[in-house]
Chain A
Amino acid sequence: MAIFGLWVINKAGGLVYQRDFADGLAQLTSNEYLVLAGTLHGIHAITSRLSPTGSSSGAQVIEGETFKMTILLTVTGTKFVLLTSLTEMTADTVLQKVYEAYADAVMKNPFHTPEMPIRSEGFDTRITTLIGTGQSS
Chain B
Amino acid sequence: MTIYSLYIFDRHCNCVYYQDWHRAKRPKPAGEGGGILPAVAHAISPQTHYTDPSVQTAFASPRNTLSSTSGVVVAVNNEPASPLPGLLQMPAPQQPAVSQQPTSELPFDEEAKLVYGVILSLRNMIKKLSGRDEQFVNYRTSTYKLHLYETLSGYKFVMLSDHNTDSLRFVLRQIYTGPFLEYVVRNPLVSMNSRERGIDNEYFRASTDRLIRGLSVFP
Residue numbers of A with Cβ under 8 A of B are 25-28, 32, 36, 39-40, 42-43, 46-67, 83
Contact = CB atoms under 8 A, between A and B. Distances in A.
B142 A49 contact: no
Given A46-B117, A50-B111, A50-B115, A56 B141 contact: yes
Contact of B139 (A39, A42, A62): A62
A57 B134 contact: no
A54 B130 contact: no
29 contacts: A25-B130, A26-B131, A27-B131, A32-B128, A36-B128, A36-B129, A39-B121, A39-B124, A39-B125, A43-B121, A50-B118, A50-B144, A50-B146, A51-B141, A52-B5, A54-B25, A54-B143, A55-B143, A56-B143, A56-B144, A59-B139, A61-B140, A62-B126, A63-B136, A63-B138, A63-B140, A64-B134, A64-B136, A67-B130
B121 to A, nearest CB: 5
B190 interface: no
Nearest to A65: B134
B114 A56 contact: no
Interface string B14-36: 00000010011100000000000
B135 interface: yes
B140 A52 contact: no
B160 to A, nearest CB: 5
Residue among A32, A40, A62 with the highest chain B CB neighbour number at 10 A: A62
Given A42-B121, A49-B105, 4 more contacts: A32-B128, A40-B125, A48-B141, A56-B141
Contacts of B4: 52-53
A61 B143 contact: no
Nearest to B131: A26
Nearest to A62: B139
A108 to B, nearest CB: 30
B122 interface: yes
A136 to B, nearest CB: 22
Nearest to B5: A52
Contacts, number: 107
Nearest to A35: B128
B106 interface: yes
A25 B129 contact: yes
Interface residues of B, number: 37
B106 A51 contact: no
Interface in B18-65: 20, 23-25
Given A50-B118, A54-B25, A64 B126 contact: yes
A22 to B, nearest CB: 13
Contacts of B104: 52
Rank and list the top 9 A-B pairs by shortest CB-CB distance, nearest first. A26-B131, A57-B142, A52-B4, A56-B143, A64-B126, A53-B24, A62-B139, A59-B139, A52-B23
A23 B138 CA distance: 23
Given A26-B128, A61-B139, A53 B134 contact: no
A59 B138 CA distance: 10
A43 B118 contact: yes
A24 to B, nearest CB: 9
Given A50-B114, A52-B160, A57 B128 contact: no
Nearest to A27: B131
Interface string B189-216: 0000000000000000000000000000
